Chain A
Amino acid sequence: MNSPVLEFDGASVNLAEEATAAVTGIDWRIAEGESWVIGGLQGSGKSAVLEAAAGLTPVLSGTVRLFGVSLDGLTPKEARDLRLRVGVVFEGSGRLFTDLTVLENLTLPLRYHRELSFADATEAVAPLLESLDLVTVASRYPGKIGYGVAKRVALARALVLRPAILLVDDPLRSLDSTQARAMRRHLQEFNRGHAWCDGRPVTLIVTAEELRPFVNPSNQFAIIDKHGWKIVGTREQLLGDRSDAVRELLAEHSEHAMS
């Protein structure tokens, strides 16, 4: 097994502005290059787990380690250096900066961290724009592009700094089948090793309310059920799990769930 890039030890996380835990007892180790899917119903705390993994919100209890470094008590510089190795795609339209064009959204991290000029940053992100089919919308503002395109822009922005881990919150929600297929393909490409990241596999963690679209041999699964954390395992283990929670997330409604 590769060395863990992300570890949760007995962690509990809460939803924004709430003091009580949304998910408790998270014990989880993610090795380099793995692909995980966190399943859970709406409001179950999937996003909170991702935000804790990115070091954006502290855990209520327990420990989170990124690349072997505990996220407790980091200096701002240490926290920033760690965040540069983690890409986050937020849910919905990805929280793009509405006063910047698509190209400015993508070049911003390079201009801030690498101190590149706008022209140099534009040249640097050109392959990524092309790869995610965003060239034609580069000069548009986020308010003037479609939802599916905005999701791809958010994915591109998270990848600009060539992160080692990519956290993607509900990437398929509200996408039509063509857009969803394209998004899954992009995520797989980066997980397997994309030229943008010099062929290095990016560790992938996505959340989903419906697990069926992610059922493939390369993914591993964990679910959140009634505030509890459960590692399900591989595709075979997921399909063999007859619990109501898993069947509901696979959209196979049991009699209990139906009632």
Chain B
Amino acid sequence: MAVGTSWPLGLRTSINRTARSVVSTTSTVERMMAFTLITLGTLITQHRRARGLITPMIGNQLFRAGVRMVPMVCFLGMALGVLIIGQIEAILQQVGANQYSGALVVTVIIRELAPLVSGLVVFARVGTASVIELGTARALGEIEALEALGIDPIHYLVVPRVIGFTISVMGLTLYCILTALFSGYVFAFSRGLPVNPEAYLGRIVSALSWVDFPLLAAKSGLFGMITALVVSYQGLARPLRLEQLGDTTALTVVYCLVICLIVDIGFIPLYILL
């Protein structure tokens, strides 16, 4: 039976549009998960294949997404340090609650903002470029040419990005944290706050627990991996025409952001439980 045939046209249109959107999103998520499984399967089963060719390509992705992004991430880390750590120290000093600064810095900077900012930098600078590169290759038929040569496009094009982006975001997160902690201290010191380096670092170290290290590595690595998988899926997994590249890149931005935030939220119970 047709849904609500006696309902107002506007309402029916809205329901139909929402339903189509839900079905389309579900189907995209399903295909992305299948793409992820295929990529991980390829990464595991073909890790020995064509190393002489694939290893330099991983190095190239590490350079693009990692080394070249260090200045940008350091700048953002310094900005975070000044904006957040500096202010936290100043405010807590005023109310005499310095002992809580470590917990705040660990929660806000180390657990949340550093991996997210590093992931976003890699995504914004390198991920979007990758969507265009892969989408262009797909639109020009280069993917079929790879297949005709017996070269697995997932192994040749996606695996280097997954490994490169994952390691890059992990490394950049570390740089972001270190520069944020340093600039936060310098800012607090420059404002004449009575903060000594030992006490400053001591409060942060005492607020860290052992789970922070593996969870930080997992979270930042996941952000990098998600970025690589989403951009590769959007660029490769469906037929594209050149004129669709702009829309596809914009859509990739949304998917990456949403998935990274969902994963980020998924880490909260782990921090609470562990």
- Which residue of A51, A83, A112 has the most chain B CB atoms within 10 A of its CB atom? A112
Which residues 72-88 in A have Cβ within 8 Å of B in the complex? 76, 80-81, 83-84, 86, 88
- Which residue in B52, B145, B147, B148 is a CB contact (below 8 Å) of A111? B52
Looking at the assembled complex, report how far the CB atom of B274 sits from the nearest CB atom of chain A, in whole angstroms.
40
Distance in angstroms from B48 CB to nearest chain A CB is: 10
* Contact between chains at B141 and A95 (CB < 8 Å): yes
Q: Knowing A17-B239, A83-B148, A157-B149 touch, does A112 contact B50 (C-beta < 8 A)? A: yes
> A189 in the interface, Cβ–Cβ < 8 Å?
no
| Among B90-98, B103-111, B150-158, the stretch in contact with A | B150-158
The yes or no answer to B142 lying at the interface (CB within 8 A) is yes
Which chain B residues border A161 with CB–CB below 8 Å?
Answer: 149-150
CB of B30 closer than 8 Å to a CB of A = no
> How long is the Cα–Cα vector from A203 to B255 in the complex, in angstroms?
47
Number of interface residues of B (CB under 8 A): 21
Which A residues touch B148, using CB under 8 A? 54, 56, 83, 86, 88, 90, 158
Q: Is the CB of B52 within 8 A of A109?
A: no
CA–CA, A54 and B140, complex, Å: 19
Which of chain B's residues have a CB closer than 8 A to the CB of A28?
none
Whether A97 pairs with B239 at a CB distance below 8 angstroms is no
Chain A window 165-194, contacts with chain B (Cβ cutoff 8 Å), 1 for yes, 0 for no: 000000000000000000000000000000
* B141 contact from A80, A81, A90, A111, Cβ within 8 A: A90
Interface flag for A256 (CB, 8 Å): no
Which interface residue of B51, B142, B148 has the most chain A CB atoms within 10 A?
B148
Q: Tell whether, in the assembled complex, residue A56 and residue B141 are in contact, meaning their CB atoms are under 8 Å apart.
A: no
**Sample (26) of A-B pairs whose CB atoms are under 8 Å apart:** A16-B239, A17-B239, A54-B148, A56-B148, A76-B152, A80-B150, A83-B147, A88-B148, A95-B140, A95-B142, A96-B142, A97-B137, A98-B140, A108-B151, A109-B149, A109-B150, A111-B50, A112-B53, A112-B149, A112-B151, A112-B156, A113-B50, A113-B150, A113-B151, A116-B52, A161-B150
